Structure 1
Amino acid sequence: MGSSSSRESRITREMLEEYAQLTYLNKAEILHVAKLFKSLLPRGTEELQHQRIPVEEILKVVPQLRYNPFRDSILCVFSTDNNGTMSFDDLIDLFSVMSENCPGDVKAAWAFKIFDFDEDNQLSLNDLIKVVEKLTGLKNNEPRIDRKSSKFIAQVV
């Protein structure tokens, strides 16, 4: 009954158990993510596992990201194909890391990737300046804080 079938648009019991063991999400949370992901699939799509959804569509069902200043970096880091799309597994990983059950060291490792804008495996002064600029936001498409002030704050950190 809960085993695999030709229609993978449902999560089987085995898949649910596996996701529950491999993530920091409980079964109800996994089913919620599956429901969100499935809501974005074209009608008649039989498969959940091998589909990719444009990140713009993901933002429609994950409002927590819509206004996050690090939205683009978060979506890029969690997208395994780095092509502006996310798979179901990518979305599960994102929700798992954002879960309150996720340990701080795991969250910190992902945060490092999100803040490493130049992808050089270190948080440089330029990365920290960009963090400050993103946190302070834009006004009329210009940073609210000038580069010199951003650099000063980044150096203090």
Structure 2
Amino acid sequence: MGGTTSKLDESLQKYEDLTYLNFKQIKNCHNRFTDIKKRENVNSGSLVDLTKPVCTYDDLFESVPELGHNPFRDRICDVFSSEQGRKLNFLEFLDICSVFNENASQEAKIKRAFQIFDFDNDGFIGKGDISKVIKTIVPDDSNTNLNITDAVSDQIFKEFGGPEENKLLTKFQVQEMLEKSPEFADNFTFALQ
């Protein structure tokens, strides 16, 4: 048994250099992830298959309320998951925890924020993306959302966008916008308890 824990620790320790997490945080992520699998009779003392999609979004949200309470939870998982069918593997979960860690660089946070807000995955943030961001944050009231969306979109494009006919924001424009937001890094952070 002691050998298994040692192998597990060795396997997890290599992720310290690849993430913004320390060993204790990585071990905590592994424990949280394997807790989900305990319900499916997987031995939690061993290293789970790091690349196999073994966790559904819903199981993850139930077991990790820090993520489950985020209004962008589905979109976050979509961006980090390489699989269809609302599933994540351990490495993808670790990547989420790393980017949302307080020690993650602002550059890494902005890169992932851009991907999360780019709902149509076209490499730009357009009015449709902004509309979906607002609908994710503001409770559904079609008239209110429409008015808010128009006002927010117009202000964003006026301040950060290019020519009037080009209602698309590039990664660099979004980076500039988020760098000017002092609360961005704090809002793009959670810690596993």
TM-score (structure 2 length as normaliser): 0.70
Mapping of 1:5-84 within 5 angstroms?
12-41=8-37, 42-45=40-43, 48-49=48-49, 50-84=52-86
Compute the displacement of 1:69 (Å).
Answer: 1.6
Aligned counterparts of 1:67 and 1:92: Cα–Cα separation in 2: 18
Query: What SS does structure 2 have at the residue aligned with 1:22?
Result: coil
State the AA in 2 paired with 1:64.
Answer: E
What is the aligned-residue identity percentage?
A: 28
Decide whether the 8 Å contact of 1:69 with 1:134 is kept in 2: yes
- Give the superposed CA RMSD: 2.4
Note the alpha carbon deviations across 1:9-58, whole angstroms, 9 max, x for none: 98623322211110000001001111111111111456502351111000
Aligned counterparts of 1:2 and 1:51: Cα–Cα separation in 2: 27
- Residues 93 and 26 of structure 1: is their aligned pair in 2 closer, same or farther, counting only changes over 3 Å? same
Which position in structure 1 is the counterpart of 2:118? 116
Query: What SS does structure 2 have at the residue aligned with 1:145?
Result: helix
TM-score (structure 1 length as normaliser): 0.84
Question: Structure 2: which 5+ runs fail to align?
Answer: 157-193
State the AA in 1 paired with 2:25.
Answer: E
- Residues 54 and 10 of structure 1: is their aligned pair in 2 closer, same or farther, counting only changes over 3 Å? farther
Compute the displacement of 1:144 (Å).
Answer: 7.3
Q: How many residues align?
A: 150
Aligned counterparts of 2:70 and 2:34: Cα–Cα separation in 1: 23
Aligned counterparts of 1:10 and 1:53: Cα–Cα separation in 2: 24
Higher RCO, 1 vs 2 (CA within 8 Å, ≥6 residues apart): 2
